[in-house]
């Protein structure tokens, strides 16, 4: 099977595979094993990496590509193929490009490498937690298929994690916390919740970005038109700078031991009576024993 280069050529991918085997063996069995009881072809559709005015960063060398597995219609089995998702697709869903959505997607990419070492991202088994920012929550919802009405999309109880994400695979019972590394974070007053630090030098210093954000984004603030334009430009430079480097250089992920959903989510931001998700219930349904049946 053809897998994306980023999943097959990275040494980190091997380490993630070993970690996944160790955690999933203890936690739970995967819904399927690619090449054993399911045969999914990947790389059969070219990802949309053509830059546009609303997604110029999609052409950068390390802009992530996600190979997504879905089910056929509302009551169908798994497809036999994946479809590619890029930052451009996420921008269209979110409504505009911004550094938040890109950073959330980049964080998800390093988490998904641990959760799906074969590179095939099964949206039918994913749950997600993010901060309240629509940039982060939209990226998580789009990539996982998690929704509030199903009870599998949550918001962090601890606000220190506002610019991190958790992705949880409910068949293997493995949860991964992912976030940026110290050095590309640029939210004033918010800590980085994992210990990693970048080893490369950004073109825009964090202090410059944080100082300007404190003026432009402050409630009741009165930025000048120039400051508004400058902040947008700094964010654009920052994201394009990040995507010139391997994502592992700027983002980090860690498996959460003894993960419990209720320990992490804010219960005040949930739907008390959730809906049953039915579009994936027949994903493993047996095929007919012969081509034509009455």
How far is it, in rounded angstroms, from Cα 87 to Cα 146?
A: 18
Q: Given this model, what pLDDT does residue 54 score? A: 94
pLDDT at 219: 65
pLDDT at 25: 39
Cβ neighbourhood burial of 53 (10 Å; 0-12, 13-18, 19+) = exposed
284-294 residues labelled b (16+ CB within 10 A) or e (exposed):
eeeeeeeeeee
> Rounded distance, CA 78 to CA 67, Å?
14
Each residue's pLDDT, cut to its tens digit, for the chain (294 residues) gives 333 444 433 444 444 444 444 444 345 889 989 989 899 999 999 999 999 999 999 999 999 999 999 999 889 999 999 999 999 999 999 999 999 999 999 999 999 999 999 999 999 999 999 999 999 999 999 999 999 999 999 999 999 999 999 999 999 999 999 999 999 998 888 899 999 999 999 999 888 888 898 888 876 678 999 999 999 999 999 999 999 999 999 999 999 999 999 999 999 999 999 999 888 999 989 888 887 766
pTM recorded for the entire structure = 0.88
């Amino acid at each position: 099977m053809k897998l994306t280069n980023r999943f097959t050529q990275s040494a980190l991918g091997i380490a993630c595979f070993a970690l996944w085997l160790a955690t999933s063996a203890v936690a739970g069995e995967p819904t399927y094993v690619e090449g054993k009881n399911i045969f999914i072809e990947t790389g059969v559709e070219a990802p949309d990496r053509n830059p546009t005015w609303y997604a110029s960063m999609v052409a950068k060398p390390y802009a992530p590509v996600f190979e997504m597995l879905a089910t056929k219609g509302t009551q169908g089995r798994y497809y036999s193929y994946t479809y590619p998702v890029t930052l451009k697709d996420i921008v269209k869903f979110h409504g505009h490009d911004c550094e938040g959505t890109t950073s959330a997607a980049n964080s998800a990419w390093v988490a998904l490498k641990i959760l799906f070492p074969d590179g095939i991202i099964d949206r039918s088994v994913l749950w997600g937690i993010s901060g309240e920012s629509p940039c982060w929550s939209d990226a998580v919802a789009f990539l996982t298929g998690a929704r509030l009405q199903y009870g599998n999309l949550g918001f962090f109880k601890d606000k220190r994690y506002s610019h991190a994400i958790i992705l949880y695979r409910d068949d293997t019972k493995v949860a991964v916390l992912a976030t940026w590394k110290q050095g590309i974070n640029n939210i004033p007053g918010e800590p980085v919740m994992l210990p990693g630090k970048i080893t490369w030098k950004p073109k825009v210093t964090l202090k410059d970005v944080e100082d300007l954000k404190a003026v432009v984004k402050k409630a009741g603030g009165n930025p000048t038109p120039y400051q508004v334009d400058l902040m947008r430009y700094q964010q654009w430079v920052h994201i394009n700078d990040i995507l010139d480097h391997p994502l592992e250089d700027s983002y980090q992920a860690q498996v959460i031991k003894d993960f419990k959903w209720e320990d992490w989510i804010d219960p005040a931001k949930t739907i008390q009576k959730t809906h049953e998700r039915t579009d994936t219930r027949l994903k493993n349904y047996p095929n007919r024993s012969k081509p034509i049946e009455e």
